[in-house]
Amino acid sequence: MLQINNLQVYYGAAQALFGVDLEISRGETVALVGANGAGKSTLLKAIIGLVRPSGGTILFKGKDVTAKSANRMVQAGLALSPEGRQLFGELTVAENLELGVLALKPGRTKTKRRMAEIFARFPKLKERRNQQAATLSGGEQQMVAMGRALMAKPDLLLLDEPSLGLAPLITDEIFAIIHQLSRSGVTILLVEQNAARALSASTSAYLLANGRIVHSGNSAKLLADPKLRQAFLGAASNENPAASRLGAAGLTNIRLEKPDMTHKTFMPSFKNKEELEKHQLKGLQWTINHAFEGSSFYRAQLEKAGIKPGDIKSLSDLRKLPFTTADDLRDGYPFPLRSVPFEQIIRIHASSGTTGKRKVLAYTRKDVDDWVGFFARAYEMAGITPLDRIQIAVGYGVWTAGMGFQLGCEEIGALAVPAGPGNIDMQCRFLLDFQSTVFCSTASMALLMAEEIHKRGIADKINIKKIIYGSERSSISMRQKISELFGGAELFDIPGLTELYGPGTGIECPDHDCIHYWADYYILEILDPDTLEPVTPGEWGEMVVTTLCKEAAPLVRYRTRDITRIIPGPCTCGSIMPRHSRIRGRSDDMMKFRGVNIYPSSIDSILSGIPGLGSEYQAHLSRDDKSGRDFMRLVVEHGGQCDKARRMELGKEVVHQIKKQLMVTVEADVVEYASLPRSERKSQRVFDTRIKDDIV
């Protein structure tokens, strides 16, 4: 269809194209990709006859058309949908479309027929046929520009930057149309800065830099080529956020080469706080740019806050950014915060939501690689080596835990025993037979195992040296008990949050007085949950996180609801990674009771469904330090006028309903109406005394 050989173009003395070769076959969609100023527009102008080449040839359908006029090129079967649309704003949609066939001078009937075809392809334009083009949205204007070019029924359609300036969702729509055009046999040359989009939408591609074709070939292969990232697109690593325009376009998703196995450390390369902060600023700038370019949700949030990507000049600008909450994730169900095209997403994970919608998080290849890399770092900090055998007794499946522990284990080169949760008998058997050296689970599971090991008297026959546990808070006495019954194992608390990749975003220090967290992947703020102002360093507050290189679902000031504090100053272990305390609790009221997440709102609704009860209640959670078992006692008021026998009955009904609906056993006391304290603000209904010790 089109064959370009050794094309040279000069603007005055400056050479813009240096011997470009390019070929397009009939029916193919070919992408021409490159940064701003690479020469893409010049090449298009040379093809359509708007600039005169000073060397080389252009063959179109076998005929030499080098330096033919634009009019002649349209008559020959070429049409251009130009960069910036270039519509006539005062003319209607229909009038703009008619301009597309002007050079061909067709009759009225033919023009009408063509227009009907265009309206069939773009039903939105049919609705707006008599509307002035200037009043259309950016996406609709792009449709008019494409429709106008298609009016000429071209053999080859040149699409120049069709997604430029469009919001992510509209870009999705435009690319869906390009896919359709391509499937219906239209030959397309697609010129795009949005490289990942263009490569995904095309069969083959040419990569242009400084007026030269530097790579070409099958688009899918180019998309998967690690060299592409380094050599040409240089895109969006933490070290190279200058390429973030391309990074925002999804280019960061191009697969990284697997780190070679001679790689000895997963610790970061920065040497001091200044280097870390420089890295964080670059990451923050990249993230805001990427979120703005890639996600309709974030774009709306940032626009509402009056923030443009270029506004982030220093780390303190973080405080200008709007917050993101769990509700935003639920509202965006099923793919909240999505900031890359679907074709770049390789996996999703979801939180174990007990009420309402789950929080679903998407991952690109790079997201998974990053997660696996820093999970390996967590293992490394706990002193785990390829000689260890890690028995992973956490849930595998849609939640993040199993995958994280597993892939991190493989990354560090240790032997994984993917046991999954529960099944105490099997776990004990594996500990004995496989001589596992590391045990990973929740704190309760670790306690359960510890008691079982003690009961069976096998502590001296197993080989567990380390226990990595997470996902719930634990008291010092509980930790001591676990360690003791496991024959003196060393405990490591590992934090984790589905929204923030999953577990492994830090780990308890080998000196056991803090959690070191991976500040090169996210920024941690500790804020007062009520005022949302920063607390004094060292004070307790809510953990708010902003990711620095997360692609598929970046987090901007995400409110985790976890309560912790920064521990200032250097650590005795020598690590320069900053640190926070073990998680003390959550700023919202969710209770974790015997492995079940319970919201006070579910207790509210169960109690209000029982006739005869009042609206006031208290939930008291306690822990038997000997057995480590948790108890919940509900103190509920009756609705007024109620004898002792009836109160007993009501109490039984409460226990029964809670058991039936929440699957947990509680005790219930029904007390006199109005005997519980009331408050004009929020009454305290949950009293959790399970953790009495000081938490480090």
> Where does this chain bind Zn ion (CB under 5 A)?
509, 511, 571, 573, 575
Helix, strand or coil, per DSSP, at residue 43: helix
Considering the complex, what minimum distance in angstroms separates the CB of residue 536 from Zn ion? 22
Task: Pick the closer one to Zn ion by CB: 50 or 573.
Answer: 573
Considering the complex, what minimum distance in angstroms separates the CB of residue 570 from Zn ion? 9
Considering the complex, what minimum distance in angstroms separates the CB of residue 510 from Zn ion? 7
Q: How far apart are CA 435 and CA 88, in angstroms?
A: 76
Q: How far apart are CA 605 and CA 611, in angstroms?
A: 12
SS3 assignment for 60-100: ECCEECCCCCHHHHHHHCEEEECCCCCCCCCCEHHHHHHHC
Considering the complex, what minimum distance in angstroms separates the CB of residue 514 from Zn ion? 6
Number of Cβ within 10 Å of residue 236's Cβ equals: 28
Q: How far apart are CA 592 and CA 152, in angstroms?
A: 66
Which two tokens mark 599? 């919201």
Do residues 389 and 438 touch, judged by C-beta distance below 8 A? yes
Considering the complex, what minimum distance in angstroms separates the CB of residue 349 from Zn ion? 29
Task: Pick the closer one to Zn ion by CB: 192 or 508.
Answer: 508
Residue type at 591 in one-letter notation: M
Considering the complex, what minimum distance in angstroms separates the CB of residue 188 from Zn ion? 57
Task: Pick the closer one to Zn ion by CB: 508 or 630.
Answer: 508
Q: Identify the sign of the CA torsion 535, 538, 543, 545.
A: positive
Considering the complex, what minimum distance in angstroms separates the CB of residue 472 from Zn ion? 22
Give me the sheet containing 14-24, strands edge to edge. Answer: 14-24, 2-11, 55-60, 63-64
Considering the complex, what minimum distance in angstroms separates the CB of residue 475 from Zn ion? 21
Quick one: how far is CA 261 from the chain centroid? 27
Task: Pick the closer one to Zn ion by CB: 511 or 588.
Answer: 511
φ, ψ for residue 28, nearest 5 deg: -85, 150
Which two tokens mark 317? 């600008």
Do residues 443 and 690 touch, judged by C-beta distance below 8 A? no
Task: Pick the closer one to Zn ion by CB: 610 or 696.
Answer: 696
The CA–CA distances, whole Å, from 60 to 3, 119, 558 equal: 6, 29, 54
Task: Pick the closer one to Zn ion by CB: 132 or 575.
Answer: 575
Task: Pick the closer one to Zn ion by CB: 405 or 492.
Answer: 492
Task: Pick the closer one to Zn ion by CB: 101 or 509.
Answer: 509
Task: Pick the closer one to Zn ion by CB: 575 or 657.
Answer: 575
* Residue 82 CB partners (closer than 8 Å, separation 6+): 145, 160
Do residues 249 and 33 touch, judged by C-beta distance below 8 A? no
Residue 430: its H or E element: helix 424-433
Residue type at 274 in one-letter notation: E
Q: At what angle do helices 168-183 and 296-304 cross, to 10 degrees?
A: 150
Considering the complex, what minimum distance in angstroms separates the CB of residue 692 from Zn ion? 26
- Residue position matching structure tokens 């509307």: 131
Helix, strand or coil, per DSSP, at residue 159: strand
Task: Pick the closer one to Zn ion by CB: 104 or 571.
Answer: 571
Task: Pick the closer one to Zn ion by CB: 246 or 509.
Answer: 509
Considering the complex, what minimum distance in angstroms separates the CB of residue 509 from Zn ion? 3
Considering the complex, what minimum distance in angstroms separates the CB of residue 512 from Zn ion? 8
Beta bridge partners of 618: 635
